[in-house]
Amino acid sequence: MSEVEKFNYLRSYLQGEDASAVAGLQLTSANYTIALDLLKGRFAQKQTIINAHMDALLKLEGTTCNTDVNKIRRVYDSIEVHVRGLKTLGVESEQYGTLLVPIILSKVPEDLRLILSRQISTENWKLDETLKHLRTELEARERCASSTIKETSKQSSKDGSSPKGDGERSKGSYLSAAAPQAQGIKVSCTYCRKAHASFKCDVITNVQARKELLKKEGRCYVCLRKSHLAKDCNGKSCFKCNKRHHPSISEQAPQTPPLQQEQNKGGGKPPVDGAKETTATYVFTEAKTSVLLQTAIATVINSEDPEKSIQARIIFDSGSQRSYVTHRIKESLNLPTIKKETLMIKTFGSSVGQLQTQDLVQLTVKGEDSNQIVQLNAFTIPTICSPLKNQAIEIACHNYSHLQGLKLADIGPESNIGSEVDILIGSDYYWHFLNGDIRRGELGPVAVNSMFGWVLSGPVDDEVESTQVNLTSTHVLRVSNETATIHPGDKRLEKQL
């Protein structure tokens, strides 16, 4: 590799102050050596790095739980990383070990601290000796924890019960919600960790998201516990669909409605005859105004293959943290997936979020001027919103003087792409497209300038008022077990009718 290639490779990894230190150097062979000297002189300060390692050891987060072997392992690994870093810098453990041993002991649980104190020489505390004893004890606990899990799993297969710990009891755990409280056992939801049964969780309601969480944590699909697979579980089948999985991941409604179950328990008889009741609901809607949304029509391009492009409608939503494109755009432009991410998506009117795994793609959006382009990353979803309606853009331009003569970013459903929305620009890229120029009148929508033209938003008074009346009629058949008794007066009335 030549000096120029090394210099180019070096610069690709520099950020912030590192990059600024060599920003003025041209990409030449001679400047590579100069760049190295500049970086070493400014950042390769041995004492500063030593101080950083020691500070990290002092501030290391310890653990007080003697049963959490994984946490103890993380503490030990962190100590090893910094000790090896100091050794690389020429700082041997003999120089600081006596001071560091008490600090290390304070980071581990009390029972482990007692064991190490017995094994360490009382005359001279050595760091290497302390770490050796800590590693030996830790490995012994890890072996013990592993064998305990296997033994517990075997025992649970024999007696048909699941090991206590995470999740819920596999047998009968979802037959009675009051049983755990009566026995003094604290119920904890596997999905949100709140005090309710997992199949009653109202925080994570999406079945696929629940399965992803169980898979990620290595839990059984039948009893929600760890340390074994569903095929080895002796738990009961789902009471909703009788399949071999936990009720919380069933996609089927219960076979027998709860109300009917209660009636059957109470000895209720099947209904014989009934009377008809009709309920009518009238919804009166008077449409006088339409509200314009911030939309624009733009050319969307595949960043890796500029020959592939498509016209699409963009909607700007500053209330969204991320940007999205539809599957139609991804497939039309053949956009490659950069990576997959799991997002917690909360929709309007819902306090419950859903975990969804989405593809992240990269695309380029071209402005009115061919030189104006924005490259962005967006998540793909099936649909952004329903086709836009009542976007009276032409009426707005005709009725309001402050909008006349503006070159608009969207002409409405009359465009050749219809009224579909394929791209949502959230707050992450919102101001990459809008430049902040605003035109406002006393009435009517506000115009904001963008790289596509002027974007309108706000209410528009329609020239023609339209009224819509929707009638919803619901017929309910009410049944009764009792024999109807007709009064003589009712018979006379019946004859008259």
Q: What is the pLDDT of residues 204-255, one digit of tens each?
A: 778 888 888 888 788 888 888 887 777 778 777 887 788 888 888 887 654 4
Q: Are residues 214 and 326 in the same domain?
A: no
What letter represents residue 131's amino acid?
Answer: L
Q: How far apart are CA 381 and CA 327, in angstroms?
A: 6
Contact 380, 359 (CB under 8 A): yes
* Residue keyed to tokens 């339409």: 290
Q: Indicate the pairing of strand 324-326 with strand 434-439.
A: unpaired
Which helix (H) or strand (E) segment is 149 a member of? Answer: helix 127-159
In-domain check, residue 259 = no
| Predicted model pTM | 0.39
**Does 485 map to a domain?**
no
Q: Is residue 433 part of a domain?
A: yes
Alpha carbons within 13 angstroms on the beta-carbon side of residue 67 total 2
Residues 93 and 231 in one domain: no
**Bigger pLDDT: 112 or 267?**
112
Mean pLDDT of 328-345: 87
Angle between helix 46-58 and 97-105 (nearest 10): 30
Burial of 312 (0-12, 13-18, 19+ CB in 10 A): buried
Residue 65 has pLDDT above 50, yes or no: yes
Judged against a pLDDT cut of 70, whether residue 474 lies above it is answered with: no
Pairing of strands 446-450, 434-439: antiparallel
Residues 356 and 447 reside in one and the same domain: yes
Is 385 a member of any domain? yes
Confidence of residue 184 (pLDDT cuts 50, 70, 90): very low
Please return the burial class of 62, using the count of CB atoms within 10 Å of its CB with bins 0-12, 13-18 and 19+. Answer: middle
Answer yes or no: do 232 and 318 share one domain. Answer: no
65 and 202 together in one domain:
no
Strands of 446-450's sheet, edge to edge? 273-292, 453-480, 446-450, 434-439
- Tell me what percent of the residues of the chain surpass a pLDDT of 70: 73
Q: CB under 8 Å to 173, separation ≥6 — which residues? A: 180, 197, 223
Q: Which residue has the higher pLDDT, 164 or 251?
A: 251
Q: Which residue has the higher pLDDT, 180 or 399?
A: 399
Q: What is the average pLDDT score of the chain?
A: 75
Q: Could you report the per-residue pLDDT of 67-122, keeping only the tens digit for each?
A: 788 888 888 898 888 888 888 888 887 777 777 888 888 888 888 888 888 777 66
> What is the pLDDT, as a whole number, of residue 255?
46
What mean pLDDT do residues 450-469 have? 72
Q: Which of 340-344, 353-357, 371-375 has the lowest mean pLDDT?
A: 353-357
Under the banding of pLDDT at 50, 70 and 90, the label for residue 168 is very low
**Tokens 């503006």 sit on residue:** 406
Q: Residues 300, 382: one domain?
A: yes
In a domain, 243, yes or no: yes
Task: Of 228, 81, 92, 265, give the one whose Cα is nearest residue 152.
Answer: 228
Supply angle C-alpha 109, 111, 114, rounded to 5: 110
Question: Quick one: 305 and 405 in the same domain?
Answer: yes
Residue 203 in tokens: 């925080």
CA dist 245 and 236 (Å) reads 8
CA separation for the pair 295, 17 (Å, rounded): 40
Weakest mean pLDDT among 181-195, 214-228, 274-288, 476-490: 274-288
pLDDT at 454 (0 to 100):
92
CA–chain centroid gap for 350, Å, is 15
Residue 301 lies in a domain: yes
**314 and 458 both lie in a single domain:** yes
Shared domain for 338 and 461, answered yes or no, is yes
Six token digits for residue 81: 């990383």
Whether 170 has a pLDDT exceeding 60, the answer reads no
Residues 128 and 202 in one domain: no
pLDDT band at 14 (very low <50, low <70, confident <90, very high): confident
Higher pLDDT, 455 or 28: 455
H helices of 44-126, in order, are 46-58, 69-88, 97-105, 110-119
Domain check: are 37 and 108 in the same one? no
Gap between the Cα atoms of 40 and 33, Å rounded: 11
* pLDDT beyond 60 at 259: no
Q: Which of 413, 378, 357, 389 has the alpha carbon at shortest distance from 300? A: 378
Beta-bridged to residue 197, according to DSSP, are none
CA distance 394 to 412: 8
Domain that residue 404 falls in? 284-471
Q: What's the CA gap between 246 and 250, in Å, rounded? A: 7
Q: Identify the helix (H) or strand (E) that includes residue 316.
A: strand 309-316
Total domain count, the chain = 4
Which ranges of 368-448 would DSSP assign to H, the alpha helix? 393-399, 430-433
The sign of the dihedral angle between the CA atoms of 57, 62, 67, 69 is negative
492 or 37: which leads in pLDDT? 37
Q: Are residues 311 and 388 in the same domain?
A: yes
Using a pLDDT cut of 90, give the percent of the chain over it.
14
350 assigned to some structural domain: yes
